[in-house]
A and B are shown apart, each in its own frame.
Chain A
Amino acid sequence: MAAPWASLRLVAPMWNGRIRGIHRLGGAVAPEGNQKKKRTILQFLTNYFYDVEALRDYLLQREMYKVHEKNRFRDKEWIRPDKYGHFSQEFWNFCEVPVEAVDASDCDINYEGLDNLLRLKELQSLSLQRCSHVDDWCLSRLYPLADSLQELSLAGCPRVSERGLACLHHLQNLRRLDISDLPAVSNPGLTQILVEEMLPNCKVVGVDWAEGLKSGPEEQPQDTASPVPA
């Protein structure tokens, strides 16, 4: 039964067959039956037997868990804290190794805390997603990383506005900037355009520039059949 398992891993959130509401995995949305794939015996059974379906869901969960567990960032491993939030002692062996990527998502890092990050002269990727204390002042401190930083993510930071994004123009080596979901930005579509102009070599993701546009006045169909008001 190797083939069905293989197809399971690759097409994990997508399967054909009928749409099953509550048994869907983690909110993943399947394409609306557009893809024609061969129905295997397992899929056939799944459609007819609930316990086969439950078994399949369980195995899918296990596979996805394994994928998340793989610590790969451009062929180098992430160093993650364990479930208690502690880093292992082996971390100290890496004193001389330059740090290339820092994931500070959901951290309480603030203006003074950035001191520690700014000393990393070879930092290539920085993720500050959903950091609640990162604001415009913090962004104005990021210029020392201009030579090396290639990827920056600010998604979901509640205090970052377009004024802070203006000081990212120092980061000329930036290739990918994520500015999705910034509630303090007043006009996300226009801000995206201005940031793209400011950083011509960078791919700015996160905002659809057509978001803020309103459709023009619709042409009202002339209703010739309506009676003329007396």
Chain B
Amino acid sequence: MIRRVLPHGMGRGRLTRRPGTRRGGFSLDWDGKVSEIKKKIKSILPGRSCDLLQDTSHLPPEHSDVVIVGGGVLGLSVAYWLKKLESRRGAIRVLVVERDHTYSQASTGLSVGGICQQFSLPENIQLSLFSASFLRNINEYLAVVDAPPLDLQFNPSGYLLLASEKDAAAMESNVKVQRQEGAKVSLMSPDQLRNKFPWINTEGVALASYGMEDEGWFDPWCLLQGLRRKVQSLGVLFCQGEVTRFLSSSQRMLTTDDKAVVLKRIHEVHVKMDRSLEYQPVECAIVINAAGAWSSQIAALAGIGEGPPGTLQGTKLPVEPRKRYVYVWHCPQGPGLETPLVADTSGAYFRREGLGSNYLGGRSPTEQEEPDPANLEVDHDFFQDKVQSAWAGYYDYNTFDQNGVVGPHPLVVNMYFATGFSGHGLQQAPGVGRAVAEMVLKGRFQTINLSPFLFTRFYLGEKIQENNII
């Protein structure tokens, strides 16, 4: 009886497969079909080029709620947490704009990949602790259906920081703060050092701090790919292009002290395609600056820093690229499997790489020795011995106080920063991503309070100095 009521083909239409049709609608081989249609139209109307069905798949969408400038680990972490913390599924449209999809110059892929909790600021310690638990449970956070689990190749060998006489007191107070926050760090005297690691030359070393848990190094590329995969599965759009322009509107308002202030709001982001003049204006509500070493250029595009120096309008974003070298060498009688990442009193550091007596390391140059950040060429004379290989990467170096910038700009109200971490962006990325997402979605920091990292400190001159920068 039901068969009579249903329209004709319906009763059996589902089960029979007519030739030429396939399940899944027109999305299969749509590009092929489009090119066929174009050819047909061309043959019908010769001499006229048909521009009706242009291929725009490489362009970003015309509207997006959040545009994240920079697709490195920080940008992807912000995208991930925005999607995790949104109140309803699909509530926020996120677009990640990355200039170079091969990540050839991005700091993430070129990083040594260490994570440690031995900082002097409690916020940095909390960020690192959260990142350690994120990495430990990474296959629960970043699980994608039918995809293999991630293997971060984490080495839990810890960090060993050595301090000379004059830094010993600072190190002790730092370790006290670290223990208060919950990091497991132990202090060692030179005798204990020699006992435990007989290969260390303890000349000039007064104290050492050794991280026992949640510290070590891992594969940053794997984290990046894992985040990318997960974020794509959550519906974030990716676009390969460069941000060249912000279109914004300003509003003149009065503060409570009756001083005039101009508040800007970015309405459109112009994304230019690679090797072409073609650009797409993306209408957006919020822009997140996670461009790493190039963040100051993006900030300058938004008009941050255009004003008389000494005023809030004239305060630039003090992040600039600094080149750092990493060298790989082979040492057959070198320290054994238990070697932590050792950082010397001079700032030189090294760690083991793999099972085959290879070591990698480097040193932060002094201010006078800073190499030219124009390219990623390696200066082999900087390292005095024979190396197997070497590479260079950029630190998004915050010249003000070597700590990150997180949160909104006071004048350009819808630009949020997540940059300037000066070499420890990778290890703090999960925590910072969550903080920025909380700021965007809820208006304040909820889990870790990063208000000391806001932009306003550059204008107010409040430096939050981090002493343990490797």
Contact = CB atoms under 8 A, between A and B. Distances in A.
A198 interface: yes
Nearest to B136: A137
A198 B336 contact: yes
Interface stretch (B61-69, B153-161, B236-244): B153-161
A186 B355 CA distance: 9
B153 to A, nearest CB: 7
Given A140-B213, A167-B156, A167-B157, A198 B338 contact: yes
B348 interface: no
B338 A169 contact: yes
Contacts of A139: 156
Interface in A135-175: 136-137, 139-141, 143, 162-167, 169-170
Given A190-B355, A191-B355, A137 B336 contact: no
Contacts of A137: 136, 154, 156
B156 A163 contact: yes
Interface string B156-171: 1110000000000000
Contact of A187 (B153, B158, B338, B355): B355
A195 B337 CA distance: 7
A67 interface: no
B212 interface: yes
Given A140-B213, A162-B355, A197 B337 contact: yes
Contacts of A166: 155-157, 337-338
Interface in B9-50: none
Contact of B154 (A136, A143, A190): A136
The interface residues of chain A, by DSSP majority, are classed as helix
A19 interface: no
B213 A162 contact: no
Interface string B323-354: 00000000000001110000000000000000
Interface residues of B, number: 16
A111 interface: yes
A165 B156 contact: no
Contacts of A190: 355-356
A173 to B, nearest CB: 14
The interface residues of chain B, by DSSP majority, are classed as loop
A39 B29 CA distance: 80
Nearest to B357: A194
Interface string B201-225: 0000000000011101000000000
A169 B338 CA distance: 6
A137 B139 CA distance: 14
Interface string A184-215: 00110011001101100000000000000000
Interface string A122-138: 00000000000000110
Contacts of B355: 162, 186-187, 190-191, 194
B192 to A, nearest CB: 12
A166 B336 CA distance: 9
Contacts of A163: 153-157, 216
Given A166-B338, A194-B336, A143 B212 contact: yes
A102 to B, nearest CB: 20
Interface string B129-166: 00000001000000000000000011111100000000
B466 to A, nearest CB: 25
A131 to B, nearest CB: 16
A163 B158 CA distance: 11
Contacts of A140: 156, 158, 212-214, 216
B33 to A, nearest CB: 47
Nearest to A186: B355
B337 A169 contact: yes
Nearest to A162: B355
A118 to B, nearest CB: 11
Contacts of A136: 154-156
A167 B338 contact: yes
Contacts of A195: 337
A182 to B, nearest CB: 14
A141 B132 CA distance: 13
A186 B153 CA distance: 11
Contacts of A191: 355
Contacts of B158: 140, 167
A164 B356 CA distance: 16
Nearest to B132: A137
A81 B278 CA distance: 72
A28 B212 CA distance: 44
Nearest to A143: B212
Contacts of B216: 140, 163
Nearest to B157: A166
B337 A162 contact: yes
B48 to A, nearest CB: 62
A195 B338 CA distance: 9
Contacts of A194: 336-337, 355
Contacts of A141: 213
A194 B355 CA distance: 8
B136 A111 contact: yes
Contacts of A198: 336-338
A143 B213 CA distance: 9
Q: Identify the interface centre among B153, B155, B338: most chain A CB within 10 Å of its CB.
A: B338
Q: Identify the interface centre among B136, B158, B355: most chain A CB within 10 Å of its CB.
A: B355
B357 to A, nearest CB: 10
A136 B136 CA distance: 10
A128 B212 CA distance: 21
Nearest to A185: B355
30 contacts: A136-B154, A137-B136, A140-B158, A140-B213, A140-B214, A140-B216, A141-B213, A143-B212, A143-B213, A162-B355, A163-B154, A163-B155, A163-B157, A163-B216, A164-B156, A165-B337, A166-B155, A166-B157, A167-B156, A167-B158, A167-B338, A169-B338, A186-B355, A187-B355, A190-B355, A190-B356, A194-B336, A194-B337, A194-B355, A198-B336
What are the 4 tightest A-B residue pairs by CB atom distance, in nearest-first order? A140-B156, A169-B338, A194-B337, A163-B155
Given A166-B157, A198-B336, A198-B338, 9 more contacts: A140-B158, A143-B212, A162-B337, A163-B154, A163-B155, A169-B338, A190-B355, A190-B356, A198-B337
